[in-house]
Structure 1
Amino acid sequence: MRDAHPYRSVLYLPASNSRALDKARNLAADAIIFDLEDAVAPGQKETARDVLAAELKAGGYAPRRRIVRINDSETPWHAEDVAAVREMDCDAVLLPKVNRPFDIETLAEALPGVTLWAMIETAEGVMNAQSIAQAHPQLGGFVLGTNDLAKELGCRPRADRLPLMQSLQMALLAARAAGLVAVDGVFNAFRDTDGLAEECRQGLDLGFDGKTLIHPAQLETANDIFSPTADDIALAERQIAAFEEVTAAGGGVAVVDGRIVENLHVAQAKVTLGKAKAIAELKAATEASAAAE
């Protein structure tokens, strides 16, 4: 079953930066990816593990999901990362460069009982997305690594992401078929709020749960766009009420705003209300945690 926790905003943070890690305790992120991979220089890997372990032990990140991205299995830091995360107080471990089910199966053997997430960021990973998604019951989500994927494909950057569209949809289909969370890739121009908003709306239209982010300034935009609007909530409530009224009278199809409402529409309406409730509960819990500090 897919994690009901909201993943509208998933913020990358370098695990070696104590100041950034401390500030994250007060950020409005739904989840944080504590990065031991790309954001940490080779000479800082050991220090980053120690810093992150201490910060996670100190706590203060709840109710945000805490995800640790380790280095991939082809690097010299992978084994030590795996050993370190066994002792870390985190909610999931994110493995980059996942190309085949074997990558997840191997990590699951090394980290029994730990929720795993997979980065889909290579051509091979996209082609094997369905089998990866079904590789192991410990797998909880996909994160799209669009920068690495674009580099491997050799495609040109476009605002509409047309060259990446098939890859995005293949990964999303695989995630949904397996009941996984699916989070869209990053938007690199963190000062371009309008561009970020457009890409978030595209991700929402495609069906992603949220967006990975590279800067706290991007949080508000992602949270806003991936949240049900007041109109969305009102429509969902009216659809459910209309359908219940019709079915109570022996009918099977209702009409709301000139559109038919059947079982499948009611199911989606309930998803919308459930998401709105989860977001409200997360916000309340975040505010309560901040007030307690």
Structure 2
Amino acid sequence: MTTVVTGRPRRSALYVPGSNRRALEKARALAADVLLLDLEDAVAPEAKTAAREAVCVAVPELARSGRELVVRLNAPGTPWYADDLRAVARVAPDAVLIPKVSGPQTVHTVERDLETAGAPDGTAVWALLETPAAMFAAREIAASSPRLGVLVLGTNDLANELHAEHVPGRAPLLAGIGLAVLGARAEGRVILDGVYNDVRDLAGFEAECVQGRQFGLDGKTLIHPAQVEPCNRVFAPSAEQVEHSRAVLAAWDRAVADGRGVATVDGRLVENLHAENAKRILALAQELSGQELSG
């Protein structure tokens, strides 16, 4: 299946702790493409109920910011899942993010529970892939439901399960990341990278963003507002990419008009696949700029 071009950018997806009311209030002014309002890892057990209430108040208020709003629930099987899902279904965020998804059955369970709770059809399910089993099942998860919108990598948990070390370049994780990207792209799904833990190391963070972009990921999950700007910049098409993409489409259009199946740009071969990639880049650039881009 051809990778779909989505209608909205997801370069940066910032986790916002549901128990931190100040962070929820400040979130509306941030430039993150996605706000991930968190009821799971960032919230202590004794604060779960209060965080759920705060997030349900915040969703309609933050919706006015134009950001895509996603709520990370506690996983099915935990003591908080059912209450999380029922409460969040009523306020209808853009999506719910489900942790610890290792196969399609978890997505099916959440889908049924959302329908039972009266969630709108437009409330998508995002799946957090955090285990070796999830990496091997990425394609089945991606194909599991029409509600399934995005796959998100949980690289911290994956490293823990692999008994792997956190090292620059993430060599121990690349096999798993590759499997997940293959599964997502096979079913035309968006896939986001995991978090970078050292909020002081912006150079290391940016290098990991570049690596994720080169690997084909659509964006990255973040844990601090300072990470938003470099993430948005890295995952946006550069001016050079936009210019090159326009040249590719122009050359391809001329080749098609002349009955040729190939063209060249700057001495390099251009085929249909290059034209399709150029269209993807220009579509993203247009979404980000709000300006009409012609090929």
Shift of residue 61 of structure 1? 4.7
| Letter matched to residue 204 of structure 1 | R
The count of corresponding residues between Structure 1 and Structure 2 is 282
1:252 paired to 2:261: yes
Give ranges in structure 1 of 5+ residues lacking alignment.
283-293
Paired residues of 2:5 and 2:280 also in contact (CA < 8 A): no
Aligned partner (choices 100, 105, 111) of residue 102 of structure 1: 105
Measure, in 1, the Cα distance between the counterparts of 2:36 and 2:14.
Answer: 6
Shift of 1:60: 4.7
Separation (CA, whole Å) in 1 of partners of 2:58 and 2:165 = 39
Question: Which residue of 1 is the match for residue 47 of structure 2?
Answer: 44
1:31 alignment partner, one of 31, 34, 49: 34
The equivalent residue for 1:157 is 166
The CA deviation at 1:136 is: 1.1
- Percent identity of the aligned residues? 45
Aligned to 1:192: 201
Range with greater deviation from structure 2 (110-119 or 221-230): 110-119
What is the distance in 1 between the residues matched to 2:67 and 2:240? Answer: 27
Which one of the candidate residues 95, 101, 104 is aligned to 1:92? 95
What residue is the counterpart of 2:73 in the other structure? Answer: 70
Check whether the contact 1:24–1:61 (CA below 8 A) recurs between aligned residues.
Answer: no
Deviations 1:251-290 (A, max 9, x none): 22111011011111111101010010111139xxxxxxxx
Query: 2:208 & 2:268 partners in 1: Cα distance?
Result: 28
SS at match of 1:94: strand
State the AA in 2 paired with 1:6: P
CA contact (8 A) 1:94 1:118 kept: yes
Q: Are the aligned partners of 2:14 and 2:225 in contact in 1 as well (CA < 8 Å)?
A: yes
TM-score of the two chains, using structure 1 as the length reference? 0.93
- Counterpart secondary structure, 1:221: helix
Q: CA deviation at 1:26?
A: 0.7
> Which amino acid counterpart does residue 229 of structure 1 have in structure 2?
S
Instruction: Tell me the distance in 1 between the aligned counterparts of 2:198 and 2:64.
Output: 26
Contact map agreement 1:82 1:111 (CA 8 A) in 2? yes
> 2:158 corresponds to which letter in structure 1?
L
Partner secondary structure for residue 236 of structure 2: coil
Q: Distance in 1 between matches of 2:16 and 2:79?
A: 21
Contact 2:16–2:24 (Cα < 8 Å) also in 1: yes
Taking the aligned partners of 2:160 and 2:94, their CA distance within structure 1 comes to 30
Residues 109-157 of structure 1: per-residue CA shift (max 9 Å, x gap): 0113231000000122112212111111110010100001100110111
Residue ranges of structure 2 left out of the alignment (5+ in a row): 116-120
Normalised by the length of structure 2, the TM-score is 0.93
2:273 equivalent to 1:270: no
- 1:252 is matched by which residue type in structure 2? G
Contact 1:53 1:89 in 2 (8 A): no
